[in-house]
């Protein structure tokens, strides 16, 4: 099975900072990658699918890139409401594995 590895597992940044989270697949998955945001005590929310397509209603400060095995989620200017854990997920085939998550905090 394909493994999904996220890094870092946590980060602390200042408001306005550019934040980058990476996700690596152990084998190529083309662009079948999604990013989710889960705020504390809340349900996961889809941010990006097809590696780089922003879900409707998601702020444009979020962006995704990558293909094959290496992917990134970027927050161009971190806002207080972005405090959350972010997960990547592959969906090219079952099992639909999630990455371990990246917890983003404000410094």
Partner 1 sequence: EVQLVESGGGLVKPGGSLRLSCAVSGFTFSSYSMNWVRQAPGKGLEWVSSISSSGGYIYYADSVKGRFTISRDNAKNSLYLQMNSLRAEDTAVYYCARVGKEGAPYYYMDVWGKGTTVTVSS
Binding site for partner 1 (CB under 8 A): 1, 34, 36, 38, 43-46, 49, 55, 85, 87, 89, 91, 93-101
- 3/77 with CB nearer partner 1: 3
Q: Would you list the DSSP string of 28-86?
A: --TT-EEEEEE-TTS--EEEEETTTEEPTT--TTEEEEEETTEEEEEESS--GGG-EEE
CB of 35 to partner 1, least distance (A): 9
Best CA proximity match to 75, nearest among 15, 6, 27: 15
**Smallest separation (angstroms) from partner 1 to the CB of 15:** 26
CB closer to partner 1, 69 vs 98: 98
Q: Closest distance between partner 1 and the C-beta of residue 80, in Å?
A: 23
Nearer to partner 1, 17 or 46 (CB): 46
> Residue 1 or residue 70: which is nearer to partner 1 going by CB?
1
Are 3 and 99 in contact, with CB atoms under 8 Å apart?
Answer: no
- Residue entry with tokens 């590895």: 5
Residues in the chain: 107
């Amino acid at each position: 099975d394909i493994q999904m590895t996220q890094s870092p597992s946590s980060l602390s940044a200042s408001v306005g900072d550019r934040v980058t989270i990476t996700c690596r697949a152990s084998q190529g998955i083309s662009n079948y990658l999604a990013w989710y945001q889960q705020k504390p005590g809340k349900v996961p929310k889809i941010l990006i699918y097809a590696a780089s397509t922003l879900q409707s209603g998601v702020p444009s400060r979020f962006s995704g890139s990558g293909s094959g095995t290496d992917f990134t989620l970027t927050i161009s200017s971190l806002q207080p409401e972005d405090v959350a854990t972010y997960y990547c997920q592959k969906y090219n085939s079952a099992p639909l594995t999630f990455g371990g998550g990246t917890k983003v905090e404000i410094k």
